[in-house]
């Protein structure tokens, strides 16, 4: 069995604020340590179910350099750094049997949900074939493009509900109950790790019963951006057009993986400040 664990930071137990997820700020070092420990619980659960499993962990938050490599379970490989073609899912390929989302968060506009956003604070909404998707949906659909089901998600209650609406059979572990964007009732990290280990083992054991979430191509992708400069830059790419009054770019992509790369590009462009 080959398994990919994609790990974000907003949906880790105990984490409720931007300062805990941004390098150099108050409690970031604690946040990344909690993230690493929560990932380790999932790695252990996967290997409880199949000691011969090949486990890749892909760091999927911010710089993609948060997990402490020396503290990660040594039986897993770590995908680290950016940019990269599959964003939060590099390490994924046609041989991947199951994908697990750890520390994920709800999409921009959801709420109340802890640190909800879609890829970056500059992106207001992403739609595929007219339907809004956040990171959970975009990543689940990209996993589905490669034929892999998302079998487990951990995060706040809103993130869990978001995955279940797309993948009804997936196992979810709510590590905190959202009160708002920067507040939650959170469970103890040690208790969460115990449940995650059991849940990960159960999820990969039952992976054949969970259908991949697929959006067949070609797909129409639209991105609402806060930065008008990002729209100007994105429309330099052939096939990308400006729609919806100047705050939206749109294009038709051959498949979801290609649409995902367009979204990644717009995220980078939205980070460029006028010179």
- Assess contact for 101 and 136: CB atoms under 8 A: yes
Closest contact distance (angstroms) between CB of 274 and Zn ion is 26
59 versus 224: smaller Cβ distance to Zn ion: 59
Of residues 17, 61, 105, 117, which has the active-site annotation? 117
From CA 109, how far away is CA 104, in angstroms rounded?
15
| Opening angle at CA 60, ends 57 and 66, nearest 5 | 85
Q: Please report whether residue 8 would count as binding Zn ion according to CB under 5 A.
A: yes
Stretch that binds Zn ion, among 53-61, 192-200, 246-254, 261-269 (CB under 5 A): 53-61
Instruction: Kindly state the tokens that stand for 44.
Output: 């252990």
Instruction: Kindly state the DSSP code that residue 17 receives in the 8-state scheme.
Output: S
Closest contact distance (angstroms) between CB of 61 and Zn ion is 4
* Rg of the chain over all Cα atoms, to the nearest angstrom: 18
Catalytic residue list contains 117 = yes
155 versus 210: smaller Cβ distance to Zn ion: 155
Q: Please report whether residue 59 would count as binding Zn ion according to CB under 5 A.
A: no
Instruction: Kindly state the DSSP code that residue 9 receives in the 8-state scheme.
Output: S
Closest contact distance (angstroms) between CB of 38 and Zn ion is 13
**Closest CA relative to residue 178, chosen from 22, 8, 10, 42:** 10
- Assess contact for 12 and 66: CB atoms under 8 A: no
Q: Please report whether residue 145 would count as binding Zn ion according to CB under 5 A.
A: no
Stretch that binds Zn ion, among 6-14, 43-51, 189-197, 207-215 (CB under 5 A): 6-14
| Among positions 20, 38, 40, 61, the unique one binding Zn ion when judged by CB under 5 A | 61
From CA 99, how far away is CA 2, in angstroms rounded?
9
9 versus 56: smaller Cβ distance to Zn ion: 9
21 versus 148: smaller Cβ distance to Zn ion: 21
Residue matched to tokens 């007219």: 130
Judged by the rule CB under 5 A, the positions of this chain that interact with Zn ion are: 8-10, 61
Q: Which residues have a catalytic role annotated?
A: 117
């Amino acid at each position: 069995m080959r398994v990919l664990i994609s790990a974000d930071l907003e949906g880790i137990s105990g984490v409720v604020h931007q300062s805990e997820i941004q390098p150099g700020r108050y409690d970031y070092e604690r946040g990344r340590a909690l993230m690493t420990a929560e990932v380790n619980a999932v790695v252990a659960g996967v290997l409880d179910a199949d000691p011969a499993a090949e486990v890749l962990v892909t760091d999927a938050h911010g710089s993609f350099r948060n997990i402490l490599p020396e503290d990660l379970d040594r039986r897993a490989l770590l995908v680290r750094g950016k940019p990269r073609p599959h964003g939060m899912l590099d390490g994924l390929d046609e041989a991947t049997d199951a994908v697990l989302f750890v520390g994920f968060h709800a999409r921009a506009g959801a709420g109340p949900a802890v640190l909800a956003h879609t890829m970056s604070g500059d992106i207001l909404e992403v739609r595929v074939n007219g339907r809004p998707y956040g990171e959970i949906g975009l990543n689940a659909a990209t996993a589905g493009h490669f034929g892999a089901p998302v079998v487990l998600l951990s995060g706040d209650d809103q993130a869990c509900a978001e995955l279940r609406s797309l993948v009804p059979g997936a196992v979810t572990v709510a590590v905190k109950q959202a009160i708002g964007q920067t507040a939650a009732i959170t469970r103890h990290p040690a208790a969460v790790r115990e449940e995650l280990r059991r849940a990960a083992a159960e999820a990969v054991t039952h992976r054949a019963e969970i259908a991949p979430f697929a959006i067949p191509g070609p797909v129409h992708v639209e991105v609402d951006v806060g930065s008008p400069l990002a729209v100007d830059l994105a429309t330099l790419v052939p096939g990308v057009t400006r729609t919806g009054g100047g705050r939206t770019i749109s294009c038709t992509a051959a498949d979801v993986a290609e649409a995902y790369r367009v979204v990644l590009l717009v995220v980078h462009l939205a980070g460029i400040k006028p010179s």
